[in-house]
Structures are given as C-alpha cells and as structure tokens.
Amino acid sequence: MEKHPKFKIADKVFAKVKGHSYWPAQITKVDSTNTLPKYSVVFYGTKETADIEENYVCLYLENKSIHGKNKIKNTNFTNALREIIKKSFKKEVSNIAKNNTSSIKVNHKLLDTTSFEELP
C-alpha cells in the first residue's frame, strides 16, 4: 500500500542518517512506492547524498529551533546552516518579487526589498 509523501522535491529539511545528528538537506527525489516513503536528499555543506525514510526527515523551518543548533561546534554543520539560510532567504525574496510586493518580515522586522536585484 502506497503512502502519500509528506515532503516534495526541493523542500528544505533536516534529515538524519544512522550514527549522525539531523543535518540540513534538500529533497531531490521522492519514492512513494513503499509503505513508508523514502527521500533522496543532498546535504548542505558537504554535498553528500543519501536515501532517507520519512521518519528521519522533518521540515527545516518548523524544526530549526530543535535541530539547527551546532551542539558540537562542527564547522561543516555551521556552513550547512549558513547555506540553507541563504537559500531560504533567496527563495523568499524571489517569491516577493514574483508577487510584486516590496517588503518582507525577517525576525519580526519589516525590510524594504525594493533594492534587491532579481534573483535567479
């Protein structure tokens, strides 16, 4: 019996591989042919890839306060967090440009985005 996947291609997530902590990643492929969907991900910072069962994947934005802490002061993890934050911000700015709005809320502050160049 196929299960409807929770996540889709391009979602920014935290994914966990056995023996490691949750790590920032992006979904590149969804396989819902099994009882429990599996996701191919590319990890930010390292560019390594893995196939992860749905139980070990969670959305980045909803879980960054839980999994987004660099508990062991790992430089690769810090770089991965910077990369996912940068890509998330670029996507938000692109969405604003598409919707022809001129401001964005970041950390409860309204920013004027009229000075941002259009992003690819």
Return the exposure string of 34-51: e unless at least 16 CB atoms fall within 10 Å of the residue's CB, then b.
Answer: eeebbbbbebbbeeeebe
Average pLDDT over residues 62-69: 92
pLDDT digits (tens, 9 = 90+) for 42-58: 999 999 999 999 999 99
Pick among 3.90.1150.10, 1.10.10.10, 3.60.21.70, 2.30.30.140: CATH of 1-65: 2.30.30.140
**pLDDT of 116 above 70:** no
Residue that is written with structure tokens 């935290």 in the block: 14
Pair 113, 103: CB distance under 8 Å: yes
Q: Which two tokens stand for residue 84?
A: 């996912």
> The pTM is what?
0.72
Average pLDDT over residues 10-35: 95
Average pLDDT over residues 105-110: 50
Backbone φ, ψ for residue 80 (5° rounding)? -65, -45
Average pLDDT over residues 34-39: 91
Q: Would you give the distance in Å from CA 100 to the centre of its chain?
A: 24
Integer Cα distance of 71 and 118 in angstroms: 36
Tally the residues of the chain: 120
Listed residue (43, 31, 40, 27) closest to 5, CA to CA:
31
**pLDDT of 114 above 70:** no
Residue that is written with structure tokens 């099994």 in the block: 34
> If you average pLDDT over every residue of the chain, what do you get?
81
